[in-house]
Amino acid sequence: MPFDFKFPDVGEGITEGEIVKWLVKPGDMVKEDQTIVQVETDKAVVDLPSPKTGKILKLYFKEGETIKVGQTLVTIGEPSDTISQKQTRQPEQQPISTSVVGQLEEAPEESAIELPHAEPMRGIQPLQRVLISPALRKQAKEKNINVTAIKGSGPSGLITKKDIGFSGESPQPEQPEIPQQKILVQRKYDQYGYVEHMPLKGIRKTIARNMLKSVTEAAQVTAMEDINVSRLAKIREQENKNLEKQNIKLTFLPFIAKAIIAALKENPILNSSLVNEDILIKKYFNIGIAVETELGLMVPVIKRAEDKSILQIAQEISHLAEQCRTRKIDIMDLQGSTFTITNYGSIGGNYGTPIINPGEAAILGLGRITDQPIVEQGKIKTAKILPVSLTFDHRILDGAQAARFLESLKLYLEDPDHLLLELK
């Protein structure tokens, strides 16, 4: 018996997806759990497996089209089953009413029709026949006009607007109103020159929605600080020499992530979220790392980062970033963060006002590390300076608490001996 495989809810908040690529075609035999289609949701590209073994009878959507959760993706049947390929969509179901005796079809909308003439029964007066369009009947009712007392001038006695007394109408039969299809015209130019239209969809659409939600729901303030990472730079350089044979290269990011966790333990209010009228302080540390992709920023999450060494964090960042760029990231790897890092300094720029990831209390932006002159013990020296920007939710914490967090972070990064360096 043919089986309709409907687009499932593949993650929290997912309502629709876009067909990226079909891996099967009608007539193909598939096995249970074999990937049959790639669908891009507003979080990632997911591979959907076949729920059963059988033959592909029909594909209901083309590549590039949008499918909503609950709509049929594909029909799978037995090798002997056949199905028409003429339609590409399932027909829209007409509303069905359910009663105690079964299902009843909804009555069609009222229209101007003439019932067949029948002789009235003795003793019963026949109902007066009134021919009028639904739209005109509604207008007459609004003006308290009794249409049964009006003789229509149209064909077969059809009542027209002129018969009712509405001005500007010729005694022509009323035509049913046909809804006008809205046609979106995309101009290739405006008054200044040529333009290009880029649809807001997929990950970019998610970013737009989340950022708007964040700035409208949270009172966001940004504090900035400069951190001397000269000693950290030397440690990183030495460790990279030790790891050279393993083909592993450490960036500053895993060191900073470890320092952030230490600072969060001393300032736990920044590792929280506001739910209704309660501030939930998380006792675990899931660090989100913003990753640039062709489609926009994605934020994979290092779960329970407090239990991992700097080397383990570095390897996980590299793996998750590659999964994001190849669009193979698991949706679960994009959820559950308690604090986020965005490293725009890897491209350029010093300070910024990053927007908090919805559901978190703060986000730390990392600027570009540069050599700058500093005064140390009365002497001018050159140091490697890391500019950071901390955006926090002023509903949850105050500026003093944010400043204490930045001071803790500064201590751990300027004196890396305070960090637990487990480079295994």
6, 73 contact by CB (below 8 A)? yes
**What DSSP state is assigned to residue 306?**
G
**What DSSP state is assigned to residue 42?**
S
394 is catalytic: yes
Tokens for 192? 């200044």
- The distance from CA 90 to its chain's CA centroid, rounded to whole angstroms, is 25
In this structure, are strands 339-342 and 287-289 parallel, antiparallel, or unpaired? parallel
**What DSSP state is assigned to residue 156?**
G
Helical residues (DSSP H) of 132-281, grouped into ranges: 134-142, 161-164, 202-217, 230-242, 252-266
User: Which of 166, 173, 179 minimizes the C-alpha distance to 109?
Assistant: 179
Please return the burial class of 26, using the count of CB atoms within 10 Å of its CB with bins 0-12, 13-18 and 19+: middle
57, 83 contact by CB (below 8 A)? yes
Tokens for 257? 């992530």
What's the rounded Cα separation, in Å, for the pair 364 and 343?
A: 8
**What DSSP state is assigned to residue 149?**
G
Q: What is the CA radius of gyration of the chain?
A: 33
89, 73 contact by CB (below 8 A)? no
What's the rounded Cα separation, in Å, for the pair 114 and 158?
A: 10
User: Which of 337, 293, 287 minimizes the C-alpha distance to 203?
Assistant: 293
Q: How many residues does the chain have?
A: 424
Provide the Cα torsion 394, 275, 353, 299; round to 10°: 160
Catalytic entry in 117, 197, 319, 394: 394
345, 229 contact by CB (below 8 A)? no
What's the rounded Cα separation, in Å, for the pair 83 and 77?
A: 9
In which order are the strands placed within the sheet that holds 72-77? 3-6, 72-77, 54-59, 29-30
What's the rounded Cα separation, in Å, for the pair 310 and 291?
A: 19
Q: What angle do CA 158, 164, 166 make, to 5 degrees?
A: 120
Which residues participate in catalysis according to the annotation? 394
